[in-house]
A and B are shown apart, each in its own frame.
Chain A
Amino acid sequence: MRVEYINPFVEASFNVLREVLQSDVKRGELYLKSTSMPVMGVAAIVGLAGDVEGRVLFDMDKPTALKVASAMNGEELPTMDDLVKATITELANMITAQAVTKLHELGFRFDLTPPAIFTGDNMEVTDQDVEALIVPMEVPQGRIEINVAIRERS
């Protein structure tokens, strides 16, 4: 993944999470991964197109998703209902959009697809031959992994 793309995603994740959760956010060590990986339980995905092709996946477990959604809505949400899903989708959208805006300022053209959300147990995501950058984020509600895979169109 091009070096220029890394910081916008890291910064956007950090800023948006801190803003919507009104709390401390800690960033873990970035790393690359290319094998299939388990999804923790709730995954929101946003596709990228334009000069590049790729996707951003936001991955967290169910309790984290519920807590994050509760914090964002300012009320206790005990079950995985439509409001929770819509909230997590919106979070994914906000982070990706902010990153893409930053990239736009640097002169890279990206388009977004509408986010989609997946929930369930024992899920696994496999995308062949795609190397993903993992940005782990620790928030008081739990751990959110942002999984960015972008490559240039050749």
Chain B
Amino acid sequence: MTMQAELEKKSDSRTEEKKERADRVDFKMVTFSLGGKEYGIDIMNVKEIAKASKFTYVPNAAPFVRGVYNLRGEIISIIDLRTMFHLPSERKQDGSLESLLILRVEEHVFGVIVDNIDKVVGISKSSLQPPHPIFGDINVKYIRGIVENAGKLYIILDVEKIFMVDKDLKGARKEAAYEAPKPGMSERAFTSMEADGGDLDLGFIEETLFSFRHFAVTPVNDAWVKARFGQWKGMRKGTDLQLKEPGEADQYLETFYSRCSSVLWDSGYADQVLPVLPAAESRTINVWNPGCGRGHETYSFALLLRRKYPQARIKIWANDSDLLAISMAPNMTFQEQEIPEAYREHMVKGKNGYSFSQAVRDSIFFEFHDVQNANPLPPLDIILCRDTLSFMDVVQQKRLIAEFSERLKASGIVILGGNEKLVAGGWKSVSGDEAVSAYGKD
């Protein structure tokens, strides 16, 4: 073989090798760290990287917006990804520079602050693995996937999803519309009718509960409904089991409601709820109380929270879509004899009787609001939703449970009604006690 031929062969194999490598690299990502973990962003979204400081503060902007910055004549907003995802972040000393990734998403350009920018890594699509819920710091829907490179795992963020909120919502809404063909009878009710060997009576009861009282039988409450059916058979001596009027539906549901429904909680119940409350993570405790009704449980819970977190600032968003019930809540008054002893010290006497002190009332926002509409809430520590889910149809329940999971902090808990359960994936029970249904993220 001549020298010439040998050389040619060598260069051939080299180009082949190069080609092979190029085949394997589908896209490149810029890697960086946030709160000690490694992340990546598709390089096609990254316009440049930069170091800067002295951002111009914008009053009243969202907490994760650090300000605006003049990038060679173009004014861009600066977003702190660590604050956005509730990751620990160190504020740099005045004057020292922050690491910035300048991103371009569609026509928008903006800067995000990260801890450290590392390098550019080429990866192939086939090595990209779907996100696993265990990466709890950042909501899974914002993660495009996980890749391994040189022994390190990188979480690849989906910049379009994170910053194009509107588009995402539109899509989600469309999906929901497709999913909601029949809000009436629950699908599950039919299947359970078949599964129970044609126990038609139970099937009919489930259907009438929905039409009389909008009580939908779903995994949230079917254990109770079945158990109650056993009692019901006993009460009716096995005959005439069906519910023929709303009054009978109420009778059937009599034992469904949680303890201390529509009254101030007695100390026995409060003591049962107290141990399930999570440890305080920050100085503010955010609580959502959908379906608060006339507000008895909201006030009781507010006082319980003050007992549990004496140092914290407590904020409760309490909603109900019943205008009459919720209008009474902010200015609820009590007669002396109906106030349990433990509540006395938080009450003040007014013209029409006793009401809660200003400090307690200031911690609660009572809102006339339908939870099926958008819920503008901050990340939550606790969701108190007793006997509310059961009175929504299947689609609404699903949507609200998904919303719970999205709004709740990783360490947060959901408290449901005493006879309600959260059996969907991603939740685990956190109450040792049967009397309180409390769930945390799995």
A residues engaging B (CB < 8 A)? 1-4, 6-7, 30, 32, 34, 128-131, 133, 151-154
Nearest residue (CB) in B for A53 is B60
Verify B323–A30 contact, CB threshold 8 A.
yes
CA distance A122 to B5 in the complex (A): 78
A2/B376 contact (C-beta < 8 A), A32-B370, A34-B370, A153-B60 known: no
SS class, residues of chain B in contact with chain A: loop
Verify A129–B374 contact, CB threshold 8 A.
yes
Chain A residues with CB below 8 A from B329, complex form? 3
Verify B370–A1 contact, CB threshold 8 A.
no
Query: Chain B 353-393 against A: per-residue CB contact (8 Å), 1 yes, 0 no?
Result: 00000000000011111101110111000000000000000
Report, as a range, how many residues of chain B touch the other chain.
Answer: 20 to 34
A2/B365 contact (C-beta < 8 A), A32-B321, A128-B166, A151-B376 known: yes
Verify A154–B368 contact, CB threshold 8 A.
no
Would you list 16 pairs from A and B whose C-beta atoms are within 8 A, ordered by A residue?
A1-B369, A2-B365, A2-B366, A2-B367, A3-B366, A6-B323, A6-B327, A32-B321, A32-B369, A34-B374, A128-B169, A130-B374, A131-B374, A152-B365, A153-B60, A154-B376
CA distance A132 to B377 in the complex (A): 16
A-B contact count (CB 8 A): 50
Q: Is B326 an interface residue (CB 8 A)?
A: yes
Q: Is B219 an interface residue (CB 8 A)?
A: no
- The 10 closest A-B CB pairs, nearest first, are A129-B374, A34-B373, A131-B373, A3-B366, A32-B370, A154-B378, A2-B367, A3-B330, A151-B376, A3-B326
Indicate the member of B327, B329, B369 with the most A CB atoms within 10 Å. B369
A32/B377 contact (C-beta < 8 A), A3-B327, A3-B330, A128-B169 known: no
Indicate the member of A3, A34, A154 with the most B CB atoms within 10 Å. A3
Residue from A6, A129, A152 in contact with B169 in the complex, judged by beta carbons closer than 8 Å: A129
CA distance A152 to B375 in the complex (A): 11
B142-198: which residues lie under 8 A (CB-CB) from chain A?
166, 169
CB distance from B142 to the nearest CB of A (A): 18
CA distance A93 to B330 in the complex (A): 28
Verify A131–B60 contact, CB threshold 8 A.
no
Chain B residues with CB below 8 A from A4, complex form? 330, 366
Chain A residues with CB below 8 A from B372, complex form? 34
CA distance A96 to B330 in the complex (A): 23
CB distance from A103 to the nearest CB of B (A): 13
Residue from A1, A34, A129, A152 in contact with B368 in the complex, judged by beta carbons closer than 8 Å: A1
Chain B residues with CB below 8 A from A130, complex form? 374
CA distance A6 to B373 in the complex (A): 18
CB distance from A129 to the nearest CB of B (A): 4
Chain A residues with CB below 8 A from B327, complex form? 3, 6-7
Nearest residue (CB) in B for A49 is B60
Known: A2-B365, A154-B377. 5 other contacts (CB 8 A): A2-B367, A6-B323, A6-B368, A131-B370, A153-B60
A3/B376 contact (C-beta < 8 A), A128-B166, A128-B169 known: no
